[in-house]
């Protein structure tokens, strides 16, 4: 009996599907976090205000130890699944399967959600320096263009630019002037 | 009688204050808009309101947030009917009958019918909340710290089993939420813990930053990463067909709506169940008792109005454990609770005694919101349909900006804005790996309560952990948790065996 993907012209490759890969990463992260949590809990004092054994350690260990145990069990289950259910499929099949879920076949610079995260981090850093108005206008233009695609075409760039300016002005008018919500001024003191 | 007097007093305060009425109107409108956008549910709607919320006093903000919550529940059905994409999970069953009606040129009629059913469900839920919440709070006042901690453990287990697709993932997420709540300063000794030397962490992780992150940024990332970012074709609501149901048409559905509402309320009160499960149950009941179950899926009004009344009733029902016990019944209730805590209000058994005015204003605002939503939703359907045509590439960047402003508004610090993005990534990653962000938030909200109760119980029992955990009511709560857990394991095993059987028989 042939394995999935064998028999096609394309060269078969070792493949773990997207969900399993995400679970493997999650398990590794969770085990790491829970180890740090338990280790830090042990360093906390055990003595409380009135009675011994009622200090900060009591509660954090009460949740930390079961958390670590469950994370280890989860990690074991995921690893077992990865070892027993690994499949060999062709690159074409892998692309189709991944594209159906999370566009994992796209390179980093073409994944809008990852670019949006970077842009949002840049927005916050920009707010700190140049203030809300400029940082937000640039951010809205960039992210709108990324999500829409083809930012270099002027017929798409002009509406994105107008949208960015208008939205920033509306947010400032509504929040800062309308409701008195403070917006970041920026270190350069360029307003808002 | 006392309950009715207090409710009347709350209603008078709400109706007589134009600012409160305006807040409810804004909340209903914004909630409906955010609720109907595919992928963005009530939790996201409320999380995005944070910058606006901090501009107003507590009672104005809270009624606006609650109106927004109900608005989002109402709004979820609009995209379900028009696009066949539920605005949130609770509107999932609405697609089954609502969209076929829209395809048959009855979009306006389906939207009006479902708005009336949502109104009925909300009102039944609020009546239940009015009478049950103070009563449950009264009983809960007699529980000691041991019993209370046991109840929190039960809520954790039940929520994990019900909300999450995998029980182990559910419990891990809950424990992680509880662990996140311990970051900051020890409540008894005042010493820093898990801050890793960072002074900005001494005051702890603000629940609101986590909420905006996982529900606001996390949802946007999920939408951007999935096929959901494609723009939709919204059908036009034709003037040629009737947009409003006749009185007799709705009267014929009275028992359907009554069943859905009652079922929804009971399901909503249970921890972690939420309105999604309520609407599924209601749809199954209506299909089962229908004389022509084969017609379901073709635009049957019973299949539309039952789940709609059920999910709205459940949404209100989930506020019962939140207000009466301080235990959020759903993710959105946890977000509401975070708002209350941010304003120095601690929901729980003492809430109705310590702050009766605020408690009854909240309940009264639910009645007013329900009426306002009905009035808004029927004539404004074409407007909402037009908003659905706003392209995703304009909408998502705006939500990200609002999320960043929300993080900044918590304490006018960009550090919290960074936290929002970090938790946005956490929320996205959790969804990718099949963990429920809702449980993380519920765990975090329950963290303070469970820690204080456990430590009080141990002190009262002279340092004995075992005695602290065991009490007569404690046995009941731990017993329920154990039964739910074992039942879930057995159910999952049966399902796996069934699936194996199907695979084997297919191979044969």
Give residue-wise pLDDT tens across range A124-181.
999 988 889 999 999 999 988 888 776 566 777 888 899 999 999 998 888 788 777 7
Is B217 in contact with A77 (Cβ distance < 8 A)?
no
Contacting residues of B for A113, CB less than 8 Å apart: 221-222, 224-225, 428
**Residues of chain B numbered 213-232 and touching chain A (CB < 8 Å):** 217, 220-222, 224-226, 229
- pLDDT of A89 reads 45
CB atoms B191 and A67 under 8 Å: no
* Structure tokens, B340: 């209350």
Tokens of B29: 């409108």
Give the one of B417, B454, B462 whose C-beta lies nearest to A51's C-beta. Answer: B462
Counting as low any pLDDT under 50, the low residues of chain B are 228-229
CB contact under 8 A, A60 and B182: yes
How many Cβ pairs within 8 Å bridge chains A and B? 179
Report which of A170, A38, A22 is spatially closest to residue A104, judged by C-alpha positions: A22
Confidence band (pLDDT; 50, 70, 90) for A61? very high
Cβ-nearest to B412 among A74, A123, A182 = A182
Subunit contact B225:A148, Cβ cutoff 8 A: no
Place of tokens 């459940």: B314
φ/ψ of residue A161, rounded to 5 = -65, -45
Distance from the Cα of B120 to chain A's closest Cα (Å) equals: 34
Cβ contacts of B55 on chain A, cutoff 8 Å = 175, 179-181
Residue A124 has a pLDDT of: 94
Query: CA separation (Å) from A102 to B227, B432, B437?
Result: 8, 9, 18
Residue of A67 and B7 predicted with greater confidence: A67
Q: What is the per-residue pLDDT for A150? A: 60
Nearest chain B Cα distance for residue A13, angstroms? 23
Say yes or no for a CB contact (<8 Å) between A181 and B432: no
pLDDT digits (tens, 9 = 90+) for B281-330: 888 888 888 877 788 888 888 988 998 999 889 888 888 888 888 888 77
| Separation between Cα atoms, residue A139 and residue A145, nearest integer Å | 10
Long-range contacts of B284-291 (CB under 8 A, 24+ apart): B285/B259, B286/B256, B286/B259, B286/B260
Q: Which of B297, B304, B295, B300 is nearest to B94 (CA)?
A: B304
Q: Do A58 and B454 touch (CB under 8 A)?
A: yes
CB contact under 8 A, B421 and A121: yes
> How many CB atoms neighbour CB B487 within 10 A?
11
Q: Do B397 and A139 touch (CB under 8 A)?
A: yes
Q: What is the per-residue pLDDT for A7?
A: 44
What pLDDT, on a 0 to 100 scale, did the predictor assign at position A9? 47
Backbone angles phi, psi at A183, to 5 degrees: -115, 150
Residue A90 pLDDT exceeds 70: no
* Cβ atoms within 10 Å, residue B333: 31
pLDDT at A45: 81
Cα gap A28→A142, rounded to integer Å: 34
The answer to whether A181 contacts B55, with C-beta atoms less than 8 Å apart, is yes
- Name the residue in chain B with its Cα closest to that of A31: B172
Between A82 and A141, residue with greater pLDDT: A141
Ramachandran angles phi, psi of A88, nearest 5°? -110, 115
Distance from CA of B139 to the nearest CA of A (A): 27
pLDDT at A134: 92
Terminal Cα distance for chain A, rounded: 68
CA proximity to B130, closest of B336, B412, B458, B360: B360
| Residue pointed to by tokens 């723009």 | B231
Identify all chain A residues contacting B171, using CB atoms and an 8 Å cutoff.
Answer: 66, 70
pLDDT at A107 over 70: no
Token code pair at residue A7: 């028999």
pLDDT at residue A39 in the model:
94
Q: Is the pLDDT of residue A1 over 50?
A: no
* Gap between the Cα atoms of B406 and B419, Å rounded: 11
Could you tell me which of B300, B232, B236 has the C-alpha nearest to residue B83?
B232
């Amino acid at each position: 009996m042939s394995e999935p993907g064998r028999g096609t012209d394309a060269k078969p490759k070792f493949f773990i599907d997207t969900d399993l890969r995400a679970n493997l990463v999650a398990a590794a992260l969770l085990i790491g976090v829970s180890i740090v949590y338990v280790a830090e809990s042990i360093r906390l004092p055990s003595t409380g205000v009135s009675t011994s054994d009622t200090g900060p350690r009591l509660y954090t260990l009460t949740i930390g130890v079961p958390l670590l145990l469950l994370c280890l069990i989860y990690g074991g289950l995921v690893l077992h699944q990865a070892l027993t259910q690994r499949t060999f499929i062709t690159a074409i099949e892998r692309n189709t399967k991944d594209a159906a879920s999370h566009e994992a076949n796209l390179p980093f610079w073409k994944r809008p959600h990852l670019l949006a995260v970077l842009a949002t981090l840049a927005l916050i850093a920009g707010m700190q320096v140049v203030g809300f108005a400029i940082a937000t206008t640039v951010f809205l233009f960039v992210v709108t263009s990324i999500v829409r695609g083809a930012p270099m075409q002027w017929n798409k760039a002009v509406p994105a630019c107008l949208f960015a300016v208008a939205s920033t002005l509306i947010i400032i008018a509504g929040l800062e002037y309308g409701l008195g919500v403070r917006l970041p001024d920026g270190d350069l003191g360029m307003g808002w | 009688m006392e309950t009715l007097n207090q409710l009347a007093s709350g209603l008078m305060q709400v109706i007589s204050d134009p600012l409160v009425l305006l807040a409810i109107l804004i909340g209903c409108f914004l909630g409906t808009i955010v609720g109907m956008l595919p992928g963005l549910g009530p939790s996201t709607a409320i999380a995005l309101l944070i910058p606006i919320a901090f501009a107003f006093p507590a009672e104005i903000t809270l009624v606006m947030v609650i109106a927004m919550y109900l608005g989002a529940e109402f709004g979820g059905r609009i995209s379900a009917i028009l696009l066949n994409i539920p605005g949130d999970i609770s509107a999932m069953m609405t697609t089954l009958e609502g969209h076929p009606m829209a395809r048959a040129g009855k979009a306006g009629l389906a939207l009006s019918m479902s708005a009336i059913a949502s109104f009925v469900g909300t009102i039944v839920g609020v009546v239940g909340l009015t009478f049950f919440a103070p009563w449950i709070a009264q009983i809960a006042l007699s529980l000691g710290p041991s019993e209370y901690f046991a109840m929190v453990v039960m809520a954790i287990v039940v929520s994990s089993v019900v909300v999450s697709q995998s029980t182990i993932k559910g419990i891990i997420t809950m424990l992680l939420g509880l662990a996140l709540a311990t970051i900051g300063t020890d409540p008894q000794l005042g010493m820093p813990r898990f801050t890793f030397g960072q002074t900005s962490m001494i005051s702890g992780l603000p629940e609101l930053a986590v909420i905006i992150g996982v529900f606001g940024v996390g949802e946007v990332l999920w939408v951007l990463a999935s096929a959901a970012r494609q723009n939709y074709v919204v059908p036009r609501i034709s003037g040629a067909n009737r947009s409003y149901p006749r009185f007799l048409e709705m009267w014929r559905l009275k028992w359907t709506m009554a069943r859905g509402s009652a079922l929804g309320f009971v399901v909503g009160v249970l921890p972690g169940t939420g309105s999604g499960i309520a609407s599924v149950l209601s749809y199954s009941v209506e299909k089962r008792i229908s004389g022509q179950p084969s017609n379901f899926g073709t635009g049957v009004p019973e299949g539309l109005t039952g789940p709609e009344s059920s999910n709205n009733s459940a949404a209100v029902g989930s506020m019962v454990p939140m207000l009466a016990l301080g235990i959020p019944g759903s993710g959105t209730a946890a977000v509401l609770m975070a708002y209350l805590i941010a304003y120095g209000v601690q929901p729980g058994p003492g809430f109705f005694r310590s702050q009766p005015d605020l408690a009854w204003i909240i309940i009264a605002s639910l009645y007013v919101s329900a009426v306002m939503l009905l009035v808004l939703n029927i004539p404004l359907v074409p407007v909402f349909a037009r908003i659905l045509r706003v392209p995703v590439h304009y909408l998502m960047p705006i939500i990200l900006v609002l999320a960043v402003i929300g993080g900044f508004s918590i304490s006018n610090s960009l550090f919290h804005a960074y936290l929002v993005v970090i938790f946005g990534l956490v929320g996205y990653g959790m969804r990718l790996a099949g963990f429920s962000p809702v449980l993380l938030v519920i765990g975090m909200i329950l963290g303070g309560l469970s820690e204080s109760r456990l430590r009080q119980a141990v002190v009262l029992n002279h340092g004995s952990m075992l005695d602290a955990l065991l009490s007569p009511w404690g046995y009941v709560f731990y017993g329920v948790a154990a039964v739910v857990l074992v039942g879930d394991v057995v159910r999952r095993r049966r399902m796996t065996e069934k699936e194996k059987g199907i695979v084997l028989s297919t191979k044969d």
